[in-house]
C-alpha cells in the first residue's frame, strides 16, 4: 500500500464535503477505530457513501429519518470484503469522533484519523477486514510520525458512555498480532 499526497492509493476515492482543515496539519497523532452499518445490522449497498456525502434519502428506511441531516465522515471505510473507500485525505479533519477526549486532549477530530469498519457491535468482523485494517495501519504508521501502536483507540475509548464501537466482538489481540 502507498500513500501519496495524503491519499491511500489502494482505496476507492469518494470525496465527502464533511471535512475541513486541521488546526495543525502536522499533528496527526491518533487512530480511531469505528464501525458502521446502514441500515443498522445490514451490510453492503451505498448508504454509508450517501451518509458521508450528505445524500442519504430519509424515505429509504425508517432509521434514516433520524440521521440523514448529520454532517459526518471518516477518512476510511473498510467493507466486509476488505475493499477500502477514502472519503477525506489524511491531512484534513474528518468529522468522525464527535465530542471526544483522549489522554487529556479534547476534539479528537483535530488530531486523529478515523477508520470505519463496516460492521456492528453485535456481529463479528470479517477476516478480510482485519487483514486490510492491519495493512492500512502499517502504512499510516510509516507515513505519519506522530502515530504509534500505542495511539490506536476505539471510538468507545474516546467517547465513553456515548459510543460503544467497534464493540466487544472486535478482536484487539488478533488485530495487534497482525501488526507484528
pTM: 0.97
CATH value at residue 99: 3.40.80.10
Structural domain harbouring 117: 3-45+73-178
Residues contacting residue 168 through CB under 8 Å, at least 6 positions apart: 121
Catalytic residue (one of 116, 118, 173, 180): 116
| Residue 55 covered by a domain | no
State the pLDDT confidence band at 19, using cuts at 50, 70 and 90.
very high
pLDDT digits (tens, 9 = 90+) for 30-74: 999 999 999 999 999 999 999 999 999 999 999 999 999 999 999
Q: Is 116 a catalytic residue?
A: yes
| Residue 142 covered by a domain | yes
Burial annotation 84-116 (CB, 10 A radius, 16+ → b, else e): bbbbbbbbbbbbbbeebebeeeeebbbbbbbbb
pLDDT of residue 169: 97
Q: How many domains does the chain have?
A: 1
Amino acid at each position: 500500500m502507498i500513500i501519496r499526497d495524503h491519499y491511500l492509493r489502494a482505496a476507492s476515492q469518494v470525496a465527502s464535503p464533511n471535512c475541513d482543515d486541521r488546526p495543525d496539519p502536522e499533528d496527526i497523532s491518533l487512530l480511531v477505530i469505528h464501525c458502521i452499518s446502514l441500515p443498522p445490522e445490514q451490510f453492503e449497498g451505498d448508504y454509508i457513501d450517501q451518509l458521508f456525502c450528505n445524500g442519504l434519502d430519509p424515505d429509504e428506511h425508517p432509521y434514516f429519518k433520524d440521521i440523514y441531516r448529520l454532517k459526518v465522515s471518516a477518512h476510511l471505510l473498510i467493507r466486509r470484503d476488505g475493499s477500502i473507500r477514502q472519503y477525506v485525505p489524511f491531512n484534513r479533519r474528518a468529522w468522525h469522533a464527535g465530542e471526544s477526549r483522549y489522554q487529556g486532549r479534547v476534539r479528537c477530530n483535530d488530531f486523529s484519523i478515523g477508520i470505519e469498519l463496516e460492521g456492528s457491535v453485535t456481529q463479528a468482523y470479517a477476516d478480510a477486514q482485519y487483514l486490510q485494517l492491519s495493512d492500512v495501519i502499517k502504512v499510516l504508521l510509516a507515513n505519519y510520525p506522530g502515530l504509534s501502536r500505542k495511539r490506536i483507540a476505539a471510538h468507545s475509548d474516546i467517547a465513553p458512555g456515548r459510543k460503544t464501537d467497534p464493540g466487544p466482538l472486535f478482536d484487539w489481540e488478533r488485530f495487534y498480532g497482525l501488526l507484528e
